[in-house]
Amino acid sequence: MRKLGIIGAAVTAVVAALALSACAGFTPMYARPGVAQGSARIDVRTPNTRTGYLLRESLEDALAYDRSAPPEYRLNVSLSERRQPRGLDENRVATRFEVRVAATYALTEIASGRTVLRGNRPIHVTYDTTDQPYAGIVAQQDAQVRAAHEAAERIKTDVLTWFATR
């Protein structure tokens, strides 16, 4: 019995060593010098809408925007937002909606005016409606929050990847 315990421990050690060796070329994004520092100096500009406001807040949080230092980059984001009915009840009244948000962005170096990164991130979220008007409004607003957060996460990933590979 004791022999099996020692063999099991040896097999576990070998498997762990192999798993760790597979990570040999991996470097965390924030471990690269300048990635976090560069992302903290991005001035985010979004449309003056509720979704635009939510997106800007999420991006500033995700990129750790440092208001005490002058920005080196400007991230201009434009949004298009559509709401479409998806589910219908027996009276042909919509019971589910899909919110489609397209976030198009450009990261510009302020000093040179050169655009260094462009992208477009489509986001799709859904929400259920209800007979109570207030609950329907809350569901729609929650969908906007989820769409803005998802767009911010995708844009953040693109921007940090650019910083890590430049």
Supply the pLDDT for residue 34: 47
Q: Is residue 12 part of a domain?
A: no
Q: Is residue 15 part of a domain?
A: no
Q: Is residue 11 part of a domain?
A: no
Per DSSP, 112 falls in state T
Whole-number Cα distances in Å, 165 to 29, 37, 41, 42: 9, 14, 17, 17
| Stated length of the chain | 166
Query: Bigger pLDDT: 11 or 78?
Result: 78
At 90, the pLDDT band (50, 70, 90 cuts) reads: confident
CATH number of the domain residue 55 falls in:
3.30.160.150
At 2, the pLDDT band (50, 70, 90 cuts) reads: low
Instruction: Kindly tell me if the per-residue pLDDT of 8 is higher than 80.
Output: no
Query: Bigger pLDDT: 77 or 132?
Result: 77
The model's pLDDT over 135-157, given as tens digits with 9 standing for 90+, comes to: 888 989 999 999 999 999 999 99
Using alpha carbons, select from 150, 102, 97, 85 the residue that is nearest to residue 126.
Answer: 97
Q: Which two tokens stand for residue 77?
A: 């984001």
Q: Which two tokens stand for residue 49?
A: 């809408």
Rounded distance between C-alpha atoms, residue 154 and residue 138, angstroms: 24
Q: Is residue 99 part of a domain?
A: yes
Q: Is residue 155 part of a domain?
A: yes
Q: Is residue 82 part of a domain?
A: yes
The model's pLDDT over 97-125, given as tens digits with 9 standing for 90+, comes to: 899 999 999 999 999 999 999 999 999 99
Q: Is residue 18 part of a domain?
A: no
Q: Is residue 149 part of a domain?
A: yes
Tally of domains in the chain: 1
**Could you count the other beta carbons within 10 Å of the beta carbon of residue 156?**
18
Could you tell me the residue range of the domain that residue 87 belongs to? 32-165
